[in-house]
Chain A
Amino acid sequence: MDTRTFRVFRFARDDGPSRFDTFEVEAAPGDTVLDALRWIKIHHDPSLAIRHSCFHASCGTCGVRVNGREALACVTRVGDQDEGRVTVEPLANFPVIADLVVDMTSFVQRFPSPHPAARISEFPTSPEVPPGIDEYQRFEDCIECGLCLSACPVAATDDTYVGPAALAYAQRILEEPRGADVGALLDWADGDNAAWRCHAAFECTEACPSNVRPAQRIMHLRRALTGGRDGGS
């Protein structure tokens, strides 16, 4: 059985400062970082606090930084990491609750209202939909994982920036209003800490595991704000 060395960030709120614990983990190359973390929790240290739920990049709860890069632990293969130690840390720019668990409250609170979960499905295109159904629906791509906010250098500089996920969501509502007040949304996007604070690092698009492409959407949002096209992507 293959063994990899994992270096995991630890922080307990009642204790002293944070530290890194090192574990020798039985992990085959095809195993995921989440598999390794759960193996540590079950075989070594049950006090390791981690978040996970769906195991297939749909719930967005297992966001961490693996060897310095943002990733969803459940679909990040151990075998894809560079030789040597695998370092796992919590997301950046989020308050840490304990170990790898971060507080999602301030992230979620940055989203504009409303926050519709479903959108029109664009694929696969079908000639018909079942009678009684207007159009096929699907959930928005954004899984609210926060990898984008962790990767964003502006958010690292100033935590009042609303961040890529919130702006990308606003742009999606511009594309498909679903009854939202588009004028109010544009005002929000035009605000002090919104669309104009992005400096095109594109780290958010790089980090996004769900093809939201937040950086591109922010640029489209700016076009809409300057009277250009209606934010279509």
Chain B
Amino acid sequence: MIKVEGLTKRYARTLAVDNISFEVEKGQIVGFLGPNGAGKTTTMRVLTCFLPPSAGTATVAGFDVLEQPMEVKKRIGYLPETPPLYPEMEVVEYLQFVAKLKGIASGDVRRRVDEVMERCSVADVRTKLISKLSKGYRQRVGLAQAIIHNPDVLILDEPTSGLDPKQIIETRELIHSLAGDHTIILSTHILSEVEHSCERVIIISQGKLVAIDSVDNLTARLRGSEAVSVELEVASGRPNPTEVQQRLEMVAGVSRVVMKDSRDSRLVFEVESLQGRHIRADLARTVVNSGWNLSELRSVGLSLEDIFLQLTAAEQKETDVKEIQGATV
């Protein structure tokens, strides 16, 4: 559905996107992940024909963004980072305007507008001025605007930014319900979002493609090792924290112990294991055998967050690209 080859976008002085290639199948939800300024928005803008690429090609549904932008634009629904809303319009008026702008026949406009208002649950504010809407409603009107012409491809730039937790869940569900008929690319720097709603992840950093894989594969890569938070209660001053730390480091399978907190009698450590080792039982035994009180033992896991940080950390970048591309191709 979407095919990007060797895409490069250069601004006056900076290289925003550097030779990115990827493909997205029909009906997939793909998460576009990267720190701020990584080139997510630029890539999306190229796909929506807002910006021309400096080099490389991008095709949507078989149409090149440079050669046949009209055909591409007809097939794309786009929600930019700030929803493109006209504050002086009413919601229904705005959606009718967009519907006509996207080329929906006059006879169908009313029906389509009612449909998307229902779907994005903005029907209750239909006659409100957009300038009076809350952030959550604005975002949903923006989403309604993107799907109004039932496009093949939906491109959503940080669809949940600035929403409260309840709205985030609602938006996620909405996006999920849109999958299937639509191919969706959504960008975000919030990782849990990708874990929840995407099938595949494209990670970019500083304009370069760092990883492209399914969410499960990416997490599985680092599932082997685990991190455990250990909280102890000891009589104050005895034993001293470094002593405890040394003892924990001696447990079999432990790779690293970091002291997180030490106040009065309370000590908190984060213990990381080596690949494929389960250390919780041994840890608990060590603590109890030493005569300390174990008040908490909790797995903090290595989340997508950690993978992401590892992948995007500059010093590790080169090796990781090779490693991951080797693993997936």
Partners in one complex: no
